[in-house]
Each structure stands twice: as C-alpha cells, then as structure tokens.
Amino acid sequence: MYTKVDALMWSDDKYRQLSDDGKLLFVYVLTCNHRNMLGLYHLPIPYGAYDLGWDNKRFSKGLEELLQKGLINYNSNTNIILIPNFLKYNPLENQNQVKGAIKAISSIPTIGLNTELLTTLKAFDKPFVEPLIKLLEERLGKQEKEEEEEKEEEEVEEIKKTTPKKIKFGEFKKVSLLEIEYQKLIDKLGQVLTDDLIVRLDNYKASTGKNYKSDYATILNWSRKEPINNNSPKKSSNPFLEMMQDELDKNGGY
C-alpha cells in the first residue's frame, strides 16, 4: 500500500511547531504498516512504541501533542487512530477501493470517530463512496441509540440514588412508608394509633393480597373511622370489617 505525503507538510505551521518527537510520530502514523486506506486504524500504544523503539510514556506524550494540534484523533478506549486529512491527500478513487475500505473497517470499532470520518467522505461528493457512507451512518445511528440508552440508565440510577427509600413496617412487611410519612402520621394521630393502624393494614394486606397506591393515604383514611370521643356512635374498632361489610352491602349480602 502506498501513501501520498505532501511535501508542503514541511512548511505547514502546525507541523513546524511540533517537537522532534512529534514530527517523527506524525510521519510514523502516516506511513506505518498498521495503517489502511482510510487513515483510520488500530494502533495500541505498545505497538507504536515498539516500532519506534520508545517507551509507552514517550509515545503517549507524542500522541497527546498531535492531538492538541488537531493532526490526529485518538480513542484511548478502543486504541483507534484517525488522521483527519488522510483522505484529502489519499482519496478513494473507485468502487473497488471503497469495497476494500469497507472490508478494512468491518472489524474496527469506530465509536467516537464516525462523525469526523463521515464529514470527510461526504466532502468527496462521489457516488461510489455512498456504500461506505451508509455503513458509517448506520454505525453512528446505532452508537447514538446506545449512548441515549446508556444516558437513560444513568439518569434512572441517579433518580434511585436521590429518591428517598420507603421503609417496610409490620410483621409481614406489607406496609411501605417514607420516614417522613411515618413521622407525619405520628404527629397527626399519635404513636399508639399510628402503630395500631399499621399493624391492621399489614395484616389486612397479607390476608387479602390487596395493595394500595399509597399506604400513607390509606392509613389516614382509616384513621377517620376511629371514634373521636366516648360520646361518638359506637363503631367497630376494626376498619377492615367495616370495609368488608360495605362491600357486602353493595353486593347484596353473602
């Protein structure tokens, strides 16, 4: 495989501002045997360091310098390098080269680099490049969907972290209340009646399998059925029996 390197590179401001290591590294990424016809390829730091006889720290420092100058893009999670202007000087010229490019990147995770490569390809305005563009657009769409799903999962986890957890009450642990709800019930009804109604609700839910949208609201509602003073009409002290009787009355008895 041949790669065209423009002689004007030597007078380019970005290139001239590089350190000696940066200049050598840029020539290396343009011409190394890991490259492909897209200038988008797999380049783990140990590979490049070995080729140049450098240690990993020196190679990483050189990569960072090229990144800062915008001469390359590098995904450290996938070890994929992209040379943005590679196709400017080494354009795809026919359908066979496009097929070769598709084959070359079929096993390359282009996450984080799809958009940049797409922009370069679309600038060609050549019909034969369309299959490659389509492939990258599909990858980009899938990537965006995965990123959106990941973001939603993170948001759900964050909500779980910040949402107060309900406490289980009763022998059967069927009554769920926030700590603030439990304290409000005590403030409104007193400790004895609150605990009594919790026990009743716990037993009722365990024996009937019924559930309520809010145990807090249910306990408040049942508390209103309790006698207020000794002169009140005699009522059953069990709101559950009253509810069952109400249901029987509605249905015409047993």
Q: How crowded is residue 15: how many other Cβ atoms within 10 Å of its Cβ?
A: 16
Query: What b/e sequence results for 120-132 when a residue is b if at least 16 CB atoms lie within 10 Å of its CB, and e otherwise?
Result: bbeebebeebeeb
CA trace torsion 214, 217, 218, 220 (10° rounding): 160
Structure tokens at 169: 């009450």
Q: Return the structure tokens found at 161.
A: 């972290």
Q: Does residue 136 register a pLDDT over 50?
A: yes
Q: What is the mean pLDDT of the chain?
A: 84
What was the pLDDT predicted at 249? 54
Q: At what angle do helices 191-208 and 179-189 cross, to 10 degrees?
A: 120
Query: 108 pLDDT exceeds 70?
Result: yes
**What dihedral angle (degrees, nearest 10) is formed by the CA atoms of 77, 78, 79, 80?**
-130
The tokens describing 188, both together, are: 């409104």
Q: Average pLDDT of 234-243?
A: 54
Tell me phi and psi for residue 226, to 5 degrees.
-75, 145
The span from the first CA to the last CA of the chain, in angstroms, equals 90
- Give the DSSP per-residue string, 145-203: HHHHHHHHHHHHHHHHHHSPPPEEESTT--EEE-HHHHHHHHHHH-HHHHHHHHHHHHH
Is the pLDDT at 14 greater than 90, yes or no?
A: yes
Distance CA(151)–CA(134), nearest Å, equals: 25
Distance CA 68, CA 208 (A): 68
Name the more confident of 163 and 38: 38
Q: What pLDDT, on the 0 to 100 scale, is given for residue 46?
A: 96
So where are the chain's domains? 7-159, 167-251
Least confident of 92-96, 131-135, 200-204, 247-251: 247-251
What is the pLDDT averaged over residues 199-216?
Answer: 93
Residue pLDDT, tens place only, 110-132: 666 777 778 878 877 778 888 88
| Rounded Cα–Cα distance for residues 196 and 239 (Å) | 11
Contacts of 30 (CB under 8 A, 6+ apart): 3, 5, 39, 83, 86
Distance, CA of 180 to CA of 209 (rounded, Å): 26
Condensed to tens digits (0 to 9), the pLDDT of residues 25-62 reads: 999 999 999 999 888 899 999 999 999 999 999 999 99
Does residue 229 carry a pLDDT above 60?
no
